[in-house]
């Protein structure tokens, strides 16, 4: 085949044949299709979209570009969760142990943060000794011993996606819903889990800003999972305000441990339990309720074993930033707005996030929110505490917070769980 013919077909609104898709993905992975040619094809897909069969075939081709993991040796069913990313989204940390404590196995391949959105691996790496890189054999061993593992994806998993993701990032084609959906689902299907629950975030701190776009993405991913024989459910959840009170790395680990100890912010507990119930139902596991696993200490027991199995010390003190700065409420009333993007950008500028994938992050940096939207505040009371290793970072972080919070007489809040798609 010829790259130009494939590009022209999609440019002119045609439906790509399975053979064209298989060849294009394979040829690009092998370097036969040049970067500028794949850039043109990605832009044509962004502008003209893809049919459901096209998206399914594109996803399948990316899966076949690498290895596929197999957990059939485990004695319990597998289930996983994927979040599209947000601010304060620490849910994987209490969720995986809670689900494992209820009888399922959770093989979670996670990523790192970029920009204002945090990364699960960055959070966990604030625990002394914990390591993200595990071989397939090590993952299986940890799953057998603890029921849950959270680690980085290996280089052999969907290499076509890794290459295309980097290209989309620099060619203005990140927003293509077919390419977003196939990117996420190719890795999750190759991961080998038996069931999948998607947490599609909606709001200023999320990639999808509107419910309509989030629903389209969720429906596309659920269709891909269904077409590949993977039991898939999606929840649309609010990301117009930060999730929980802590935004950063070590501070989010500390908050997750509070949830595992039976406490923690109500929204983090609600979303953890809701997603856990969906994961267990999708995996066909009935019996213990995840809310009970958080209360009776069984989820905490799994957490401690899981962290230890990956070299971490669950009892070690977490890193703390050297400097703090407190933002106080300018007036009394109801906190009507606490913008997720503004808080996330502030945490990023404090050192908790990165601008490029190779940048380091500060484990101790971040933001603690002392009030949530809908709560009453008094003039002069602490509203936010900024944490940084270097006090010179506070000025830029405060710029990110300009207009990010408002105090009024009342507050109209979007529900945490917006919709369910199956």
d(Cα 176, Cα 405) in Å, to the nearest integer?
Answer: 31
- Which pair of tokens denotes residue 150? 């959270």
| 183 is known as an active-site residue | yes
CA dihedral 41, 47, 48, 50 (to 10 degrees): 70
Provide the 10 A C-beta neighbour count for residue 422: 13
- Beta strands 376-377 and 333-338, pairing class: antiparallel
* CB 77 within 8 Å of CB 284: yes
At 109, is the secondary structure helix, strand, or coil?
strand
Q: Would you say 91 and 199 are in contact if contact means Cβ atoms under 8 Å apart? A: yes
Contact in structure between 409 and 334 (CB atoms under 8 Å): yes
Catalytic residue among 81, 123, 168, 215: 168
**Four-point Cα dihedral 247, 382, 417, 204, nearest 10:** -60
Phi, psi values for residue 331, rounded to 5°:
-160, 175
Closest CA to 179 of 284, 42, 37, 376: 42
CA 41 to chain centre: 27
Could you say which of 83, 183, 298, 400 is catalytic? Answer: 183
Considering 161, 240, 267, 339, which one is annotated as catalytic? Answer: 161
Is residue 168 among the annotated active site residues?
yes
Compute CA distances 20 → 9, 24, 180, whole Å.
10, 6, 20
Maximal C-alpha separation, the chain: 68
Question: Measured between alpha carbons, how far is 361 from 355 in angstroms, rounded to an integer?
Answer: 10
Question: Out of 10, 57, 82, 387, which one is annotated catalytic?
Answer: 82
| CA atoms within 13 A of residue 202's CA, in its CB half-sphere | 22
Catalytic residue among 10, 123, 162, 187: 187
Catalytically annotated residues: 82, 161, 168, 183, 187
């Amino acid at each position: 085949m010829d790259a130009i013919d494939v590009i022209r077909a999609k440019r002119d609104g045609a439906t790509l044949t399975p053979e064209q898709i298989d060849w294009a993905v394979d040829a690009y992975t092998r370097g036969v299709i040049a970067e500028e040619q794949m850039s043109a094809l990605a832009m044509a897909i962004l502008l003209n979209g893809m049919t459901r069969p096209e998206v399914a075939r594109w996803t399948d081709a990316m899966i076949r570009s690498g290895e596929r993991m197999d957990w059939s040796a485990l004695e319990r069913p597998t289930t996983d969760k994927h979040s599209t990313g947000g601010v304060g989204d620490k849910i994987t940390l209490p969720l995986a142990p809670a689900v494992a404590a209820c009888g399922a196995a959770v093989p979670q391949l996670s990523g790192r943060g970029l920009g204002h959105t945090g990364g699960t691996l960055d959070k966990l790496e604030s625990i002394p000794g914990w390591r993200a890189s595990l071989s397939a054999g090590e993952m299986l061993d940890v799953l057998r011993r603890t029921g849950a593992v959270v680690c980085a994806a290996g280089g052999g998993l969907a290499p076509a996606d890794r290459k295309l993701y980097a290209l989309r990032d620099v060619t203005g084609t990140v927003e293509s819903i077919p390419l977003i959906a196939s990117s996420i689902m190719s890795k999750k299907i190759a991961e080998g889990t038996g069931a999948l629950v998607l947490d599609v975030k909606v709001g200023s701190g999320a990639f999808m800003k509107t419910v309509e776009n989030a629903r389209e993405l969720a429906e596309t991913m659920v269709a891909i999972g269904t077409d590949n024989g993977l039991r898939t459910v999606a929840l649309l959840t609010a990301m117009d305000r930060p999730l929980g009170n802590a935004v950063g790395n070590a501070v989010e680990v500390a908050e997750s441990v509070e949830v595992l100890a039976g406490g923690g912010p109500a929204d983090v507990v609600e979303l953890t339990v809701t997603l856990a119930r969906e994961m267990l139902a999708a995996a066909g596991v009935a019996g213990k309720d995840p809310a009970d696993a958080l209360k009776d200490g069984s989820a905490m027991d799994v957490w401690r074993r899981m962290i230890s199995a990956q070299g971490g010390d669950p009892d070690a003190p977490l890193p703390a930033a050297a400097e703090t700065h407190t933002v106080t409420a300018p007036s009394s009333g109801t906190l009507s707005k606490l913008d997720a993007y503004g808080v996330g950008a502030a945490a990023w500028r404090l050192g908790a996030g990165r601008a490029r994938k190779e940048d380091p992050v500060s484990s101790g940096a971040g933001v603690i929110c002392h009030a949530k939207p809908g709560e009453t505040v008094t003039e002069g009371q602490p509203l936010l505490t900024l944490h940084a290793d270097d006090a010179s970072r506070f000025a830029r972080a405060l710029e990110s917070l300009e207009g990010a919070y408002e105090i009024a007489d009342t507050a109209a809040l979007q529900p945490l769980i917006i919709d369910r798609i199956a």
